[in-house]
Each structure stands twice: as C-alpha cells, then as structure tokens.
Amino acid sequence: MRFLIPLLFILALPGYSLATLYTYVDDQGIRHYTNVPGDRRAKMVRPETQWRQSKPKIRQLSIKKTIQRQKQPRRLAAAGIEEHIRRASFEHRVDPLLIKAIIKTESNFNQFAVSAHGAQGLMQLMPGTAKDLQVTDPFDAYQNISGGTRYIRSMLDNYRGDLQLSLAAYNAGPGRVSRFGKVPRIPETIAYVRKVMQYYRSYQRGGSPSTSINVRRLVTIN
C-alpha cells in the first residue's frame, strides 16, 4: 500500500501526463516512481509508445462487440405474430385460428426454431418447400407465415376441405396421404394431426393451450 501512494501522488500532479515512467528501490527498501531517471537503479515501467498502442486494441474490441450485438436476431413480439397471422389468413382464405394452431404445434411461436429434420421458422418449412413457395428468408416471421398459410391452403384445396387429411399432408407430405387416401399410420403424423386439432378447438373456444407441449424437437438459432 505504501508503494501505491507515491504513484498516485505522481499521477495527480498538475500537468502530469503518462510519459515514460521509471521506478527503483532505495537502500531503505522504499520504492520510488519518477519521470526523471536520476538514479542508476531506475528502470522504465511504462513506455509512452506502449500506452499509445493499447488504445486501438481496446477500441477495436468494443467495435467488434457492437457488430456482434447488431447481428443477433431479434425475436418478434407476440402481437407482431398475431398481425402477420391475420394478414396471411385474409390473403389465403384460411381461418387464422387454424394457422395459430399449426404454429403452436410446429414451433411453439419460436420464429428461429429448426427441427431435427431441418424444417425452419414458425410454420416449420422444409428448405425445398420454402423455395417452392418463394420464401427467401424462412426466419422472417411474415414470409414464413405467409408461405406456410399458402401451403396449407393448397392442401385444403387438394383434399376438398378435409382438415385432418390436409394437416397430415402438411406434416408427412401430400404423396403419402394420396397413396393411402387417409391419415398415414406414422406415429409422428398421427400425433401431429391430433395436437393441431386439439389446439384449434381450444382457440375456437377462446382458450389458451399450454405452451409446454411440442410434437417435434426444436433448437434455436442465435
């Protein structure tokens, strides 16, 4: 502590700047700090060039952190998702509560969700399906909802409004449903149709289904 006090005193002197600093220990064991090396035992402790070179490194690190923060995706608020659902339902003539039930089952309203199979975003569009639907960014909430709504609309048209067959085709692909003419006996697809229908009925009754149940395992992109 006694060595720190002389240093603080030097730094506090009027007009003192961080130029080259020297230090030495005298015969009585007392450490001295000075910017005038009058004693042969004095050794330089802070060259002025070292101080100047340290500034850009600190600044570059700060800029790098700022850029990283700017690149982090921002999650859309629930109100924003609701607005996108209303818009997509109007454009593609699909009940907004059905869209909401599909999103609930597919991603639990996580717009950055990715399934183990590679399906992406709120309505879990596979990359090939997203490309066919002209969805350029599957993690953009409106693009994803609009594309997924357009897809379920085409399934409803293909199966003459049969909701369960349409949902099965959304999950397993229309080829499997057309082949069997009914919901294929695939455990994941059966569970998927059941969950969407459960959520859909709950929304129709004005309820709010639990957010803890998901059919697919999902991860989040950061």
* For the chain, the helix, strand and coil percentages under 3-state DSSP, each to the nearest 5: 55, 10, 35
The Cα 81–Cα 141 span in angstroms is 7
pLDDT of residue 139: 96
Residue type, 10: I
Instruction: Answer yes or no: is pLDDT of 222 > 80.
Output: no
Instruction: Answer yes or no: is pLDDT of 5 > 60.
Output: no
Residue type, 86: R
- The vertex-49 CA angle with 44 and 55, nearest 5°, equals 120
Instruction: Kindly list the catalytic residues.
Output: 106
- For the stretch 61-95, pLDDT in tens is 344 443 343 444 566 778 899 999 999 999 999 99
The contacts found for 112-119 with CB under 8 angstroms, 24 or more apart, are 112/73, 112/75, 112/139, 112/220, 112/221, 112/222, 113/218, 113/219, 113/220, 114/218, 114/219, 114/220, 114/221, 115/216, 115/217, 115/218, 116/216, 116/217, 117/216, 119/216
Give me the sign of the Cα torsion angle 170, 172, 174, 180.
negative
Task: Enumerate domains of the chain plus CATH numbers.
Answer: 4-71 (no CATH), 78-220 (1.10.530.10)
For residue 194, give the 3-state DSSP assignment.
helix
How far from 166 is each of 52, 155, 200, 222, CA to CA, in Å? 68, 5, 14, 32
185: tokens are 């006996």
Q: Average pLDDT, stretch 149-155? A: 97
- For the stretch 192-219, pLDDT in tens is 999 999 999 999 998 666 443 333 443 3
